[in-house]
Structure 1
Amino acid sequence: MAPKNRIIIDTDPGVDDVLAMLLAFAAKAEDLEVMLVSITFGNVDVKSCLRNVVAIFHILEKELKWRKENGKPLGFDGITQFKPIVAIGADEPLQDRIESADYFHGVDGLAGTHTTHPHFSPEESWKTLFEEPPPDSFLTETAKEETDLEEPTKTFIPSLVPAHKEILRLLRENEPNTITLISIGPLTNFALAAAEDPETFLRCKEVISMGGTVDGIGNVTPVAEFNVYADPYAAARVYALSSPIPSSTMPIANAGSRSVDLPAYPPRLSKQLNLKLMSLDITESHMLSRGAFTAYASDLAKQGSPLAQWVTAFMDPMLDKMERLHIGHEGEGAALALHDPLCIWYVLTQDDSRWKPSARSPEDIRVETAGQWTRGMTVGDKRSRKRRNSDGEVPHDRGNWLGNKSGNRIYRMLESPGPDAAAPYLLNAIFGP
């Protein structure tokens, strides 16, 4: 029987990205299949992001071996029942300068654990999996599989195809409306895929994107959330696909900046993108505290669980950082927002009626790409006015915000099964009851 949900995760790990992927891989086979992990720049450079993804598979291999030896349920159907593809994507934004979050996540994206805990990192030989073999290579495919290239090759399929092309291939080869695209990093890979073949991109069931803030404040500038800020041009292009007329909200080029020349979308497309936004407006209230994390992971780490030891190695310094940076984050109360895991949690529990978008949904939310102080701002139309009967009515509404056909149509999620329910769900899935 096919899984209830089939997903592609586009990611730039990042601590909370890793937690999100662990939650996805821990889901039961009948509930979720991760078909592809596509890598983008973001929290750190794309090569570091790739190493962090490979490290997840490396640790989970060790964890499954440990659980088997100790008579514990294996779990992690996401890698024992399926074998996800891993593909490398964009290494820079479509426009303007690269911005990273290594100041928060650490230079390696995982609080420096590759340096402080090198025994948790995969051997360097994994890099050859993502390199073209020399033309005169005498190794057959079977011989390559038999070379000692570390454990991760058992649990994922390395791809030499750019991530956005792998996304399009999977969407093309599967029935429409059966694959959910989840973005927990900058939207660059999705924007590239949509630009190359918008109709194939729209074969997805929906896009769930962690990014933006409309009613709240930003986490990288006063008005911008990091994932959108890192590539606002890409976010604007993806958001535009939710409009009946994508050209009505397409971004303008930032004069004088580096820019990738992508084609405009056709005047009409066969459907609108179903886009659900997990913005800071909802994610900031869903926290994982030091007390909750320790209650699950501490004893397992002492027992020898590689997974518990590894996650503790990057969670402890991250929680220490939260304690230093934020008032009210002292001791056991120090907490990390579960920004990215919320996207996976939603997919797994979306039948729960407590998930609700904003009352204004679908909202016309657009991305600022050219502002001096507002780069990456997600601008929502909060006016309590009805949409116009035609696009010809322009008085008092610059930018066609109130048009029946113009403007984006985005579902910004604002309510979940409960802010206090997210962390226990995550921890129970990853570490067991």
Structure 2
Amino acid sequence: MTPALPVLIDTDPGLDDAVGILFALACGRFSVTAMTAVAGNIGIGTTTRNIGRLLAAMGRDDVPYAAGAVGPLQGDGLDEVAIHGNDGMGGVDLPAPLTLPDARGATARLAEVLAAAPAGALTLLALGPLTNLVHLAHDAPQAYVRIGRIIAMGGTIHEPGNAGPYAEFNIASDPLAAQMVFDGPVPTTLIPLDVTRKLRATPDDLDRLAALGTDAARLSADLIRAYFHGNADRASRPLHDPCVMLMALHPQLFGVEQMRLCVDTAEHPGRLSQMQNGAMVDVAMTIDAPAALEALWRGLGTV
């Protein structure tokens, strides 16, 4: 049996974040050592509480979690309340957290976990703005360099943006943080809208998911159905953040290219450009979407 992959999850849940988290907790292929919240889709109080609620839904009071950045490194943050609802979960009912977040905050929690693990052993799965990672790199640089790899959902290369015409929400929420992470010492794999918009679920897919009968499958089906609210005319909805978990487990489903990327922090915040002096980033540009959806459903249906 393949050993479970030890991971940290940094997230701003968020409907599609929640599905990725449920997959990570349910599939049996990850050892989730800690989770940290960042403001993004919704404010930090709600994203932190949503981590606790998702852990409670899966009976996982063993996973520590903590609140992180309340906003970007500079400027004002964005939000996606219109998509995710005031509670970030589209009104889907979740239990109250079983435990309180670590009062020391995200940087202290991440630094402690990284110090206790062998250098390079932990993969960091980033589902939101990258602000927490920059705070960790600044405040605990010896811990930060112990991360083996960062896999982040964010950006767009050729696709139109979802935070203006050129930028994707996570990168646009804190473009300076994104540039600093790309420039930093930890290898980074980016999964942009070019890929995530290809992994889609239809109402029939959700019926099949719910019929698997596990808590994670039923709850994920409810969360994705909430994603259709206000978009009832759409035949399918994209599953952005679960692509991060799928990349970690099934990299063969993705086609990856190395690119030198610069992040616009001024005129078009979050816009990515390929430039000779850019940071070297591995960028997923293709996905076997049918196989990826099957892998996602299979993990959520694991008993």
Give the 3 Å change call, closer, same or farther, for CA 368–421 of structure 1 in structure 2: same
Question: 1:375 aligns to what?
Answer: 269
Which letter maps to 1:22? L
282-291 or 49-58, which moves further after superposition?
49-58
Shift of the 307–181 alpha-carbon distance from structure 1 to 2, 3 Å rule, reads closer
Query: Structure 2: how far apart are the matches of 1:307 and 1:182?
Result: 19
Q: 1:237 aligns with which of 173, 180, 188?
A: 180
Question: 1:2-401 alignment to 2 at 5 Å?
Answer: 3-28=3-28, 31-61=29-59, 79=60, 83-113=62-92, 117=93, 120-122=94-96, 126=97, 152-153=98-99, 158-241=101-184, 272-298=185-211, 300=213, 307=216, 310-324=219-233, 329=234, 334-350=235-251, 352=252, 354-358=253-257, 361=258, 363-371=259-267, 374-381=268-275, 401=276
Measure the CA separation in 2 of the matches of 1:338 and 1:280: 10
Secondary structure, counterpart of 1:322 in structure 2: coil
**Deviation of the 1:312 alpha carbon:** 4.2
Question: Runs of 4+ in structure 1 displaced over 6 angstroms?
Answer: none
Report Cα offsets for 1:304-342 as digits up to 9, x if no partner. Answer: x65555444433232243334xxxx2xxxx322121111
Q: Where in structure 1 are there 5+ consecutive unaligned residues? A: 62-78, 127-151, 242-271, 382-400
Distance of aligned partners of 1:5 and 1:311 in 2 relative to their CA distance in 1, 3 Å threshold: closer
Verify the 8 A CA contact 2:37 2:106 in the aligned structure 1: yes
* SS of alignment partner, residue 321 of structure 1: coil
Q: Secondary structure at the match of 1:205?
A: strand
CA RMSD of aligned residues (A): 2.2
1:84-119 Cα deviation digits (max 9, x unpaired): 211111111111012111111111111123xxx4xx
Q: Secondary structure at the match of 1:42?
A: coil
Give deviations 1:32-61, integer Å, cap 9, x for gaps.
201111001100011111221122122223
Distance 1:182 1:230 in 2: 17
Q: What one-letter code is carried by the residue in structure 1 that aligns with 2:161?
A: G
Structure 1 CA distance, aligned partners of 2:119 and 2:219?
38
Whole-angstrom CA distance in 2 between matches of 1:344 and 1:420: 16
Which amino acid is the alignment partner of residue 43 of structure 1? N
Which residue identity lines up with residue 250 of structure 2 in the other structure? T
The verdict on how the C-alpha distance between 1:229 and 1:54 changes in structure 2, with shifts beyond 3 A counting, is same
> What per-residue deviation string (whole Å, max 9, x for no partner) do you get for residues 130-164 of structure 1?
xxxxxxxxxxxxxxxxxxxxxx24xxx74112102
**Match for 1:414: what amino acid?**
M
Structure 2 gaps of 5+ residues are: none
Alpha carbons 1:293, 1:427 under 8 Å: kept: no
Cα 1:307–1:174 shift into 2, 3 Å: closer
1:292 deviates by 0.6
Q: How many residues align?
A: 303
Deviation at 1:196, TM superposition (A): 1.9
The structure whose Rg is larger is 1
C-alpha separation in 1, matches of 2:195 and 2:294: 17
SS of the residue corresponding to residue 23 of structure 1 reads helix
The alignment's TM-score, normalised by the length of structure 2, stands at 0.92
Q: What's the secondary structure of 2:49's corresponding residue? A: helix
Distance 1:10 1:181 in 2: 7
CA shift, 1:419, in A, is 0.8
Q: Whole-Å Cα distance in 1 between the matches of residues 269 and 209 of structure 2?
A: 39
SS in structure 1 opposite 2:285?
A: strand
For 2:34, the aligned partner's letter is L
Structure 1 length normalisation: TM-score? 0.66
Q: Do the aligned partners of 2:67 and 2:101 also contact (CA within 8 Å) in 1?
A: no
Q: How far off its partner does 1:166 sit?
A: 1.6
Closer/same/farther in 2, CA of residues 37 and 176 from structure 1, 3 Å limit: same
Cα drift, residue 167 of structure 1: 1.4
Deviation at 1:298, TM superposition (A): 4.9
